[in-house]
Amino acid sequence: MDFRYVGYSQDRKLVKGKVTASGEEAALDLLSYSGYNVLSLEKVTPFFNAEKLSSAFSTINPHDMVMFSRQLALLVEAGADIVSALELLRGGLTNRTLKKIVAEVVVDLRSGLRLSQALEKHPKAFSPLYSRTIVTSEETGNLERGLRIMADYIERQTAAAKKIRNALIYPIIVLVLAVIVIAVLVTFVMPAFIGLYASLGVELPTITKVLIAVVNFLLDYGLFLLAAIAVVILVGFAYSRTPAGRYQWDKLKLRLPKIGRITLVSELSRCCRTISLLYRAGVSVPDIMTLAISGASNRVVSRALTEVREEMLKGQGLARPMSRNAIFLPMMVQMASVGEGTGSLDITMDTVAQSYEMEADDRTNMLISMITPTMTIIMGGLVAFIALTVVTTMYSMMGAVV
């Protein structure tokens, strides 16, 4: 960032200008090294800040966060102080946003903040879960362990999301091709045949009349139909942005056939993984539940976790409040009870997370494997219907001519 300064040199001459530094303290140090006594220093805020605009739209690759966490753990374990380690890593970062964030973290550390406090200022890169894990690691004097735990967590979450994304590529391609083929048939092929049939004045079969009526409707009112669908989607999207709408939408996702079970076990596996991770790091159970609530993407699950936390603070424990809510599946409740009784909540919750992750993967793969043939059958059926209509009409025309 740029700073505008006014000061005087060693020979008492007034000087002013601009200096670029990572922070105000760094700018003062640079000017001091140059032999200037600073009278005033202010940050330059341009009308159009290309760097800030680029940062707002740029993203941080999870892979970069995994590598950063593992490398920082190695350097800390080797005995390097945290500032030197971050400075060394910053030089090798290729992501500009992450590089800028690390530079700001270094400035905060030099000003006296702890690492966890500096990381909390940058939720875009370091989630509340990440920051809270670092807090506990600092308190226990085992920072490298906390960094490795978060690296494993991010890597596992990224791998699961990538697997689902890759599995959906082929069905999406098939769906796009189906829409294109049907659009071409309806827009170009069928109107040509309709004009031919009309010019010959042949009595058409019922199936052909139905198809022509559908095609004419789409040609005449297709734009209005698309506009109506777009309005419904926009209204639904706007409503889903409200708290009530988001809750109802999340509730609907849990009730959908096939998809509902996948959504639920995915949410519960993430929750169990968070509990296991933080309990192993030494975080208190009430704080764990707070972070699990903030990490839940489904509002129904989030509300259920909030109720569990409230009951837990009243002395009800963890498993007992869970057993009163159908959102929490029996296996999770039983293993939570075992973990509470044996003091191994991290192990039992990790077991549940692995089980639910496997179930979510299996059900997702099964659903995706069903989507592709289903779309292929639907696409083939529509094309076959149109082809049958054309052939039937041609035979009718030939019979009329003969």
What's the pLDDT tens digit per position in 287-345?
888 888 877 888 999 999 999 999 998 888 889 999 999 999 999 999 999 998 898 99
What does each of the 402 residues of the chain score in pLDDT, given as a tens digit? 677 888 877 777 777 777 776 667 777 777 776 777 777 788 776 554 545 545 555 678 888 899 999 999 999 888 888 989 998 898 888 888 889 899 989 888 888 888 988 898 888 888 887 887 888 788 777 888 888 888 888 887 787 777 767 767 777 787 787 778 777 776 777 677 666 666 666 666 777 777 778 777 877 887 898 899 999 999 988 888 888 888 998 899 888 888 889 889 988 988 898 888 888 877 888 888 888 887 788 899 999 999 999 999 888 888 999 999 999 999 999 999 999 889 899 899 989 988 998 888 888 888 877 877 887 787 778 778 777 777 777 776 666 555
Query: Are 134 and 191 in a shared domain?
Result: no
pTM here?
A: 0.63
Overall size of the chain counted in residues: 402
Domain of residue 64 covers 54-155
Query: Are 277 and 346 in a shared domain?
Result: yes
Q: How far apart are CA 327 and CA 332, in angstroms?
A: 10
Query: Are 178 and 315 in a shared domain?
Result: yes
- What three-state secondary structure class fits 256? coil
Query: Are 144 and 174 in a shared domain?
Result: no
Q: Per the domain annotation, does 41 fall within a domain?
A: yes
User: Domain total for the chain?
Assistant: 3
Q: Per the domain annotation, does 160 fall within a domain?
A: no
Q: How far apart are CA 320 and CA 242, in angstroms?
A: 32
Here the CATH number for the domain that contains residue 20 is 3.10.20
Q: How far apart are CA 268 and CA 262, in angstroms?
A: 10
- What three-state secondary structure class fits 113? coil
